[in-house]
Chain A
Amino acid sequence: MMRFRPDLRGLLIAVLLSVVILLPLVNVAVWAFTEVWRWPAVIPQKFGLRFWGDVLGRGDVWQALRTSLALSTIVTALSAIICLPAAWAFARLDFPGRNVFFMSFLTVYAFPKFGLYITIATIFLGLGLIGSFWGVVLIQLVSTLMFMVWIPVSAFQNVDPRLEEAARDVGASPLRVFWSVTLPQVMPAVSAALLLTFVNTFYETEVAWLIGAPEVRTVPLLMIRFINSELVVQYGAVFSVMLWLPSFLLLLVARRFLGAQALGRALGA
């Protein structure tokens, strides 16, 4: 007698999760390729790409994209310059106060983030930095510190010192060792941190809305505008699909690089 093994629990969880998580996203995707969808139809009356043309033709869309890309690039670059050498120092060198300073990056997470932004904003208000591009850069930089220090530190610590010793043994100078042995080994983790920083900054809404508005118009802020005042639903939908691209790239990278266990432990479990 053949035993059939139904996984009812799993099926239930899978179905519920699919509905809850995928339904809203599928909905937006459908809207993005819709030309006419009137209530109460379950599927659109007419599909089409008309609104793609409209959205791509809007000046404010391109301006927001430029602003966001510039912002993300600058913040990521600055973060790398500031944090990576520090990460190397934390991992390899011993100096007074090393542990204290290292733990200090955790303070970013010890406060409710938005409350922190508010306290900074009150200072910026006095300094007239509200509405300035570099004000936004500065604060977004701070929120990248945790990832850009802790992940590379872990990567540097995981480099087997014997590999470096072997390179020194065959005559390589310290700089050469760093370039040819250390760097390639930490590259995956560091690249992941850079990508994470770039993507997070690209989608960052709270600092932008608090400090940058209304002069610095990033892509998330434009999205807020679409949500609040745009009557044509499709603009927001098309924009959403367009905007999702960096996240999608992150998804592809994460599938290959990060495991679920590692991420959970990194968050403190």
Chain B
Amino acid sequence: MHPDPERELIGYATGALPEPERERVAAHLSACATCRRTVEESRAVLDGLAGGATAPPLDWGRYQAELRARRQARGRSRWWARPLPALVAAGVATAGLVLALQGLHRPGDLAPADESALGARLPLLQQYRVVERLDLLEDLDAIRHLDGVGGAR
């Protein structure tokens, strides 16, 4: 049976085959003129390409100057553009946004000014019986109308 030309013969021709396969293909080649010719022609092609092609000449001073200009135009990548810092920065920004949104949507909270005004009126509030029946001062509407209650007393 002939070796697979796409895997074994080209591997043999380029010296890429590992030892057990290489020996098996070599044994086959000693007895098969067709495969031997394929290997020889492949080697002839690869030898003919050896040394590579020569590109048209280039002004290397100009090349480096252009590269420097392109580099300066784009600038070095910012540290925050790198994967890990970018992830951390995104996480911090998201957490900040969530906290800010939570702060905006707390309807039960009082503004600092309202809290200080209530605190100033606490001694007055303690004079009213109705306050004793309020559940932890939750009924703000009732508190706001205490002045009227007091006037009616």
Q: Do A and B come from one complex?
A: no
- Give B contacts to A, CB under 8 Å: none
